[in-house]
């Protein structure tokens, strides 16, 4: 049966066959960088931001991608067109791009294949079961005991595959049940980010955005540009969070996810619920010209029908 194919180092590979070479530095050290982006109405959102971040991450990681940014964008569009038959009008494209330096140095006797570049493509609807159930109720936030890696050891602006600390934070959150999302603090106790999203919170008419030890989020940047709230960037800690009017998780994966409950040192705090977050979600939907929450719910309804 024909399936979606990824572009990897000049070849088309079915998604079920895509993988990492055992000798690749990505396999041993997580020495690779990646980025992810999606479409709304089949139009890319913040693509230039994602591509620029990908190349900055690669350069800071010693990965010399041979393709230019323009050439990579062309390859992304070629991959999109190559798989167009799998994406009807009610489906969206979700891309992930990876680059690694190639074989780890101790395997130099096997030759030097050079930098490896992968353009992976899949449907966005497949993730609906992880997003749709929490659109109305929000997720529960957990202040994780797992801290963010200090920026003096690994620059958090590099979107790398060295992400064990995020996995451990997710494991801890899972112990509290489904729909619990971790918040990592930095070494000084300031809010940094979640395992796959940026974090901000609302207080009055202020959108409070942390600046400490975090990835520069493309969706976060989009949200900051369209909100009518006052955007305040600063170092924030749990003291600022527990009496907030709601937490916002922003990511390419889900867009905007709200949270009205916070677990900290095994105690649950109920946050003040503001309608400003729902208004921000509506503004984002207008910005991308898709009712984002309805799209997730429609996909979830289709998944239930199929099962």
Other CB atoms within 10 Å distance of the CB of residue 255: 26
Q: Length of the chain, please?
A: 307
- Convert the pLDDT of each residue in 129-168 to its tens digit: 999 999 999 999 999 999 999 999 999 999 999 999 999 9
Q: What pTM was estimated for this model as a whole? A: 0.94
Higher pLDDT, 21 or 77: 77
- Distance CA(74)–CA(256), nearest Å, equals 29
Q: Which DSSP symbol is given to 62?
A: T
Q: Which CATH number fits domain 5-123: 3.40.50.300, 3.30.1540.20, 3.40.190.10, 3.30.470.10?
A: 3.30.470.10
Other CB atoms within 10 Å distance of the CB of residue 162: 16
Q: Which DSSP symbol is given to 272?
A: P
Cα 160 to chain center, whole Å? 12
Phi, psi of 204 (to 5 degrees): 65, -125
- In the chain, ranges of CATH 3.20.10.10 domains: 130-298
Q: What is the mean pLDDT of residues 18-43?
A: 88
pLDDT band at 10 (very low <50, low <70, confident <90, very high): very high
- Convert the pLDDT of each residue in 202-227 to its tens digit: 999 999 999 989 999 999 999 999 99
Higher pLDDT, 131 or 19: 131
Dihedral over Cα of 193, 216, 137, 244: its sign: positive
CA geometry: angle at 130 spanning 124 and 133, to 5°?
A: 115
* Pair of tokens at residue 206: 């202020």
CATH 3.20.10.10 is held by the domain 130-298: yes
- In the chain, ranges of CATH 3.30.470.10 domains: 5-123
- Cβ atoms of 199 and 185 within 8 Å: the answer is no
In the sheet that holds 43-44, the strands lie side by side as 11-14, 5-8, 116-123, 93-100, 33-40, 43-44
């Amino acid at each position: 049966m024909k399936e979606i194919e990824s572009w990897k180092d000049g070849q088309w590979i079915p998604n079920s066959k895509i993988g990492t070479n055992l000798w690749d530095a990505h396999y041993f050290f997580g020495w690779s960088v990646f980025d992810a982006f999606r479409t709304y109405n089949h139009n890319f959102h913040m693509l230039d931001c994602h591509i620029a971040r990908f190349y900055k991450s690669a350069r800071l990681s010693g990965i010399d991608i041979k393709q230019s940014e323009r050439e990579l964008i062309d390859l992304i569009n070629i991959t999109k067109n190559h798989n167009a038959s799998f994406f009807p009008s009610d489906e969206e494209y979700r891309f992930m791009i990876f680059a690694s330096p190639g074989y780890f140095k101790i395997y130099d006797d096997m030759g030097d294949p050079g930098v490896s570049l992968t353009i992976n493509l899949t449907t966005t609807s497949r993730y609906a079961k992880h997003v749709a159930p929490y659109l109305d109720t929000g997720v529960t936030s957990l202040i994780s005991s797992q801290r963010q890696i200090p920026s003096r050891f690994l620059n958090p602006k590099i979107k790398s595959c060295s992400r064990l600390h995020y996995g451990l934070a997710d494991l801890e959150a899972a112990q509290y049940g489904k729909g619990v999302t971790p918040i990592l603090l930095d070494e000084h106790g300031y809010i940094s980010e979640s395992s796959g999203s940026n974090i901000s919170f609302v207080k009055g008419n202020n959108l409070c955005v942390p600046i400490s030890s975090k990835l520069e989020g493309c969706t976060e940047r989009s949200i900051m540009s369209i909100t009518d709230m006052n955007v305040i960037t600063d170092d924030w800690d749990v003291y600022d969070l527990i009496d907030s009017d709601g937490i916002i998780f922003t990511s390419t994966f889900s867009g905007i996810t709200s949270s009205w409950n916070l677990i900290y040192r095994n105690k649950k705090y109920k946050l003040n619920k503001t309608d400003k977050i729902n208004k921000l979600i509506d503004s984002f939907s207008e910005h991308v010209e898709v009712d984002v929450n309805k799209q997730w719910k429609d996909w979830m309804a289709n998944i239930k029908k199929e099962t």
